[in-house]
Amino acid sequence: MLPRLIAAAFLLGSATIASAQTADQDAASAVTTLENAVRQSPGDADALRRLAGAQAAAGDLAAALATIDRAAALAPQDNDVLLARARILLWSGRRKEAREQAEAVRLRTPDYPDLAEVIEALERQERPTSQSGLSVYGGVSGIDFEAGGSATWYSAGGSIFHRFGNTTLSATADYEERATADTRLGLRVDQRIGEGTAYAAFAVTPSADFREEWSVSGGVDVPTLPSLDLVFDARYAHYAANDVVALQPALRWHASPNLSLTARWINLFQSDGGYRSGASLRGDWTLGEGSSIFAGAATYPDTEAGTTRQVRSAFAGFAVPLSGRLALRASAEYEERDRSYTRKAATLGLAWRFGG
């Protein structure tokens, strides 16, 4: 509720926190009233600004951004409109654009009321923070072999991370039990660079049976346009019978502040000279209040025990907060592996955050 109260207090002009609470309790009515006002005066930039404030207070940031963009097009020199737009961009996670909007106001009117509050909000989000977290999961898979017969496989694991400033260090352990069992241990470092991120990782599987004996990987995630990110991942994995290199360029399109679509091209090169490729498509939706869902499908080459086969899969999952620091995660996947097996899997996990 607090972000909605702040949104209403900032964006509705003279509204106080008390009136913001009233607006939050009856957000739908406030939006309806202001929509009627805008219909009567479609060229009124201030009415549009107030409607954007009500939409933000109701938690609909996508609609708020579309409305404030209309107001900015009508009144490109109105500092109240531009600062409202900066706030909505900030709450939508688009800090670079929010900073540019606020700086445009500061260059023209450095002492404008409320400008200092917007700049402080930006600096507070950009300020390095320290945070740690822990997650655990368990999963079960039903297997039907193409040659006949079935089996049940089990998996479990956990990870821990610590973020200090723009750097995050994490360690993972993943256990999977089939006819035999493997445990993969991993270390990873993520570095925020401007609006983008880069990472490097190393994993090892002692006495590996079907997983890689060891692997190294790295990648980048860089915004290239206001609604488009360039993503690239590379991985080298050593198996007892083969080595593979995977190169995965991808594009992520932010269709709205709450929806992103990622298309990935998967390329696998084997040490014996073989090459295979595939692709995946994934959608991520943010539902508000910390909840999210995802779904996708893929056809791609994958290596187990040094043998590469084509895989077709579909998957979906969700995350929902149980408290301010505890979240529940669940996912399901269906997978067909050529000339091998079909797998139906479900995974359930918990994630805790500490500090920050």
Residue-wise pLDDT for 239-284, tens only, equals 988 899 999 999 999 998 789 999 999 999 999 889 999 999 999 9
Burial class (CB in 10 A: 0-12, 13-18, 19+), 36: exposed
Coil, strand or helix at 34: helix
Residues 171, 77, single domain; the answer is no
Residues 60, 143, single domain; the answer is no
Q: What is the pLDDT of residues 84-121, one digit of tens each?
A: 999 998 888 788 888 888 988 888 888 888 888 888 88
For residue 175, give the CATH number of its domain: 2.40.160.40
Residues 311, 210, single domain; the answer is yes
Residues 102, 195, single domain; the answer is no
Residues 106, 202, single domain; the answer is no
For residue 13, give the CATH number of its domain: 1.25.40.10
Q: Which of 126, 158, 191 is the last residue of a domain?
A: 126
CA atoms within 13 A on the CB side of 243: 8
Residues 109, 163, single domain; the answer is no
Q: Which of 126, 142, 169 is the last residue of a domain?
A: 126
Residues 94, 172, single domain; the answer is no
Q: Which of 102, 126, 150 is the last residue of a domain?
A: 126
Q: Kindly compute the dihedral angle of the four CA atoms of residues 219, 224, 226, 228, in this order, to the nearest 10 degrees.
A: -60
Residues 52, 180, single domain; the answer is no
State the chain's mean pLDDT as an integer: 89
Burial class (CB in 10 A: 0-12, 13-18, 19+), 10: buried
Residues 216, 349, single domain; the answer is yes
Q: What is the pLDDT of residues 12-68, one digit of tens each?
A: 444 444 444 454 556 778 888 888 888 988 889 999 999 998 988 887 888 899 999
Nearest Cα to Cα of residue 255 among 282, 220, 290: 282
Q: Which domain holds residue 280?
A: 129-354
Name the pLDDT band for 5 (thresholds 50, 70, 90). Answer: very low
Q: How far apart are CA 103 and CA 271, in angstroms?
A: 52
Q: What is the number of domains present in the chain? A: 2
Residues 111, 143, single domain; the answer is no
Residues 173, 288, single domain; the answer is yes
Residues 167, 110, single domain; the answer is no
